Structure 1
C-alpha cells in the first residue's frame, strides 16, 4: 500500500515538469460552462477567473487535432490520436498538448484517455462531481459541501481541501489520495485492485472487495466497515 501511494505522488509530480520548448498558441472562443470533459493526449492547467477562456499550445498539426465542442453548459476537449502526428520525448512517449483553461464556476469534471489535469486555484462549489477514468490523472484542491468522486480504469487522483460530505467509488486499478481532503462524512467503495486514502472526522461507511484497499485518517464516532474477497480497510 505504501508503495502505491508513493508511486502516485511521484507520477503526479512528474506531470507538471516544464515542457521545455516554444509553441504557438491558439485561443478558442468558448461560452460560459459548468461541466468539463477532458480526454486524450492533453496536459491541462485550470484556473478560476471572471471569463471562460481556452488556450491550446502545440505545433500547427497538433492544434488541428484538438477538438473543442460545447453542448449547453458542458465543454469538451479531446485529441484524435492520429498515428505519427505527435512528437515524442526521449523515452519515446507522445508529448502532450498543453492547454490552459479559465473557468468561472464548475459543478462537474470528467477526465479520460490519459489526460493530465491540474488546478492552479481552489475549486469552490456546493455540489461537485468528479470522474477520473482511463489512465487520466488529476490534481485538485476543493472547497465543497458535497463531493462525488469516481476514480477507475487506472485513473489517478490527488484531491485536497475540504468537502463536508464525500461519496467516493474507486475501482479497477484506480488510485485516490484524498488523505488531505478534510471530510466529516465519508461513504467510500473500493474494488478490483483499487487503492484509496481518505479522511473522516464524524462518520465513515467503507466497503472494500476484490483486492480493493482503503485507508482512512481520523477517529470518526460512526464506522461501518465491510470487506470481501481480499479487500481491506485500515485506519492510518
Structure 2
C-alpha cells in the first residue's frame, strides 16, 4: 500500500470515527431503568431478513417461531422501532440515542436469508445459522458476527464496517471497501470470488477455486490449498497466501 493511499484512508477513518464520537454524545439519554418489551411481527409469514441501524445491538436466534423482544432503558422503548415491511424486519430509532444502559433487541425466526447492519449497529447471531442462500451487508462503522452452514454466502462490507464469519459454505462472494474488514478465515468455502479496494481487507479459507482482485490499498489473504487461483492486483493492491 503506498504512503499516499495509507494517508488518505487514515484521514477518512479519523474523520468518520470523530463524527461517530460526536454523535454518541448527542441525543436522548436513557433513564437507567431497563425494561423488557415484547413486540409482534404482525404480518403473515413473518420475516426472513433483519436490518439494523442507529447504533443498536441486535441478537438473532434461529427458532421455529418469530419473536421480537426489546431490552432498553424505559424512556427509549418508544424511540426504538421494529417494523416488518414485506419480508424485512427493520430495526432503527426515531431519534438519536445518547448514553444508555441497554439498547438491545432479541430476534428469532425459523429462516434468515439476509442480515444488514449500518450506522454503527452491531448484529450477533447466537447459534449456528443454517441457510441455502445468505446475504450479509455491513456499512458505516457497523458489525456482523456469526457462524453459518450455507450453500451460498454473499458478504459486502464498506465504510469502516466489519463482518466476522465462520462455518462452512459451498460458494462465496466477498467484497470489502473503504477501510472495512471481512474476516472469513474460519469459514471453509470451496469456491470464492473476492474483491478488496480502497483499504478494504479480506481474509479467506478456500479449498478449490479462488478468483481474487485487489486495488487501491485493498488486501486479500487466503489460506487452504485451492487447486485454482486467479489473482488480479494493481500496484497498491495485494493478494497473497498466508
Q: TM over 0.5, yes or no?
A: yes
Q: Is the 8 A contact 2:62 2:112 kept in 1?
A: no
Q: Distance in 2 between matches of 1:207 and 1:80?
A: 40
Structure 2: distance between partners of 1:96 and 1:56? 9
Which residues in structure 2 correspond to 1:65-76 (within 5 Å)?
Answer: 65-76=79-90
Kept in 1: contact 2:34–2:102 (CA 8 A) = no
Corresponding residue to 1:199 among 180, 194, 205: 205
Equivalent residue of 1:36, what SS?
Answer: strand
Query: Of 147, 159, 162, which residue of structure 1 is paired with 2:165?
Result: 159
1:209–1:230 CA contact under 8 A, matched in 2: yes
Distance in 2, matches of 1:70 and 1:197, equals 34
SS in 1 for 2:185: coil
**Residues 52, 92 of structure 2: 8 Å contact kept:** yes
Q: Which residue of 1 aligns with 2:186?
A: 180
CA RMSD of the aligned region, Å?
1.6
Question: 2:114, 2:107 → 1: CA distance?
Answer: 15
1:23 to 26, 30, 34: 34
More divergent stretch after superposition (67-76 vs 176-185) = 67-76
CA positional deviation for 1:22: 6.3
Q: 1:224 aligns to what?
A: 230
Matching of residues 1-236 of structure 1 within 5 Å: 23-30=34-41, 31=43, 32-82=46-96, 85-87=97-99, 97-236=103-242
Structure 1 CA distance, aligned partners of 2:40 and 2:167?
31
Cα deviation, residue 139, structure 1: 0.7
Structure 2 CA distance, aligned partners of 1:96 and 1:158? Answer: 23
Structure 1 counterpart of 2:16: none
Give the number of aligned pairs: 209
Deviating runs (4+, > 6 A) in structure 1?
A: none
Q: List alignment gaps of at least 5 residues for structure 1.
A: 2-20, 89-94
3-state SS, counterpart of residue 183 of structure 1: strand
Report the Cα offset of residue 193 of structure 1: 0.3
Which has the larger displacement, 218-227 or 71-80? 71-80
CA-CA distance at 1:118 after TM superposition? 0.7
Deviation at 1:23, TM superposition (A): 1.5
Residue aligning to 2:15: none
Q: Deviations over 1:58-110 (max 9, x none)?
A: 1222111111111121110112343xx5325xxxxxx6511111111011111
**Tell me, what secondary structure is at the counterpart of 1:86?**
coil
